[in-house]
Structure 1
């Protein structure tokens, strides 16, 4: 996936496409996640400098923009950082507000499952002109991404497929999942935290199930619990 920062010619359409991807992705979540993404979109539209990749706004101003208190702002910003969408470039020190940037690759990876819902023209614009359509046949090494154990198990094979499809998404959400076992077409996975389990169930369960079914067509459901 080619990451093109929305500046220069066609910048306006690229910005709208990014916001559309976030909006469509939010619509698949619950009301709490939808509100988080709405606040994120509002922050981008109001205060993001696309050329310098900077958001410079204090917590008090952000709280007024979102109609919340500063404690809520801290929680929401922490969630956006945990998603990898918001990256702190400079901490708030000596009366200066913190500076954040956007990780466009993380946003595109997270929202890619919803592009089809917008339309084929949108998919083409988001993926760019050069898209590999062949199904991956092996796993290649990606810098900073630990490959799953090659133990031949159903889950390790599915993890290898998930890593081949999207190494960034695999590293962020799928690598830490472990298999408890599979019974009657249902595979049980565990996540390191409740938040991790809930987020994967809400946003990436269909991708996991699809990878599992390519390895074993008898799998029809996935459950994820926290340790």
Structure 2
């Protein structure tokens, strides 16, 4: 069995294998996902500390590297977090950038369908990873909570993805039924399925939802809950 973390003897080859898996996966996807994975690969190649499992780089530097604005960086990093590929080790604060780790177990599991496309030797090497634990962690709800579709890339889709990652039980009970109704300027309008649902969210979760939305898009200044 190979270690997931690419350190020690054979680490250099392991790094190439992991990046190859990402590249092969990207090439099997549509242009939007291809671009996202290319951005992640560039970030890993340029700034990831393999030994410490740490990616510590500011949004401005990432924006310059990706040739995009900082708002796009925030949305893309949030998307990678909802995919489970990036994990926050230390949240950024004033004067300090967020420190991320890469969940290689998740990436290995997600890229596995494309290993054979690279070649049987590659699939055999990567197949030694099949001891990766893909067991779903039990949640305080019945059954598995399906993650939301974040493919449209809206601030609300990404916010729902983050809420699912942070608290699947809360997401299943109160967030999954909320839909994006529209946005004017910094005001994001969310539609609830009932008056009771809207009242509960407004009373107990509105501040948290606003924080998560601002984490994805800092231009969001207010959330309105309607029915």
Fold match (TM-score > 0.5): yes
- Partner residue in 2 for 1:186: none
TM-score with structure 2 setting the length: 0.59
Deviations 1:143-179 (A, max 9, x none): 6247x97xxxxxxxxxxxxxxxxxxxxx6xxx62xxx
Secondary structure at 1:195 match in 2: coil
5+ unaligned residues in a row in structure 2: which ranges?
A: 154-178, 180-227
Q: Which has the higher contact order (CA 8 A, sep 6+)?
A: 2
Secondary structure at 2:5 match in 1: coil
Q: CA deviation at 1:101?
A: 0.4
Deviations 1:29-55 (A, max 9, x none): 111110000000000000000000001
- Partner residue in 1 for 2:137: 144
Against the structure 1 CA distance between its residues 112 and 75, is the aligned structure 2 distance closer, same or farther, given a 3 Å change threshold?
Answer: same
TM-score with structure 1 setting the length: 0.59
| Structure 1: 4+ residue segments shifted above 2 A | 1-4, 192-198
> Which residue of 150, 162, 165 maps to 1:195?
150
Q: Distance in 1 between matches of 2:105 and 2:129?
A: 17
Against the structure 1 CA distance between its residues 53 and 28, is the aligned structure 2 distance closer, same or farther, given a 3 Å change threshold?
Answer: same
- Partner residue in 1 for 2:17: 17
- Partner residue in 1 for 2:103: 103
1:54 matched to 2:54? The reply is yes
Against the structure 1 CA distance between its residues 51 and 26, is the aligned structure 2 distance closer, same or farther, given a 3 Å change threshold?
Answer: same
Secondary structure at 2:150 match in 1: helix
Q: Distance in 1 between matches of 2:96 and 2:38?
A: 26
Taking only aligned residues, the RMSD between alpha carbons, in angstroms, comes to 2.8
Q: Distance in 1 between matches of 2:123 and 2:117?
A: 9
Against the structure 1 CA distance between its residues 196 and 126, is the aligned structure 2 distance closer, same or farther, given a 3 Å change threshold?
Answer: same
Q: CA deviation at 1:193?
A: 3.9
Secondary structure at 1:96 match in 2: coil
- Tell me, yes or no, if the aligned pair for 2:4 and 2:129 is still in contact at 8 Å: no
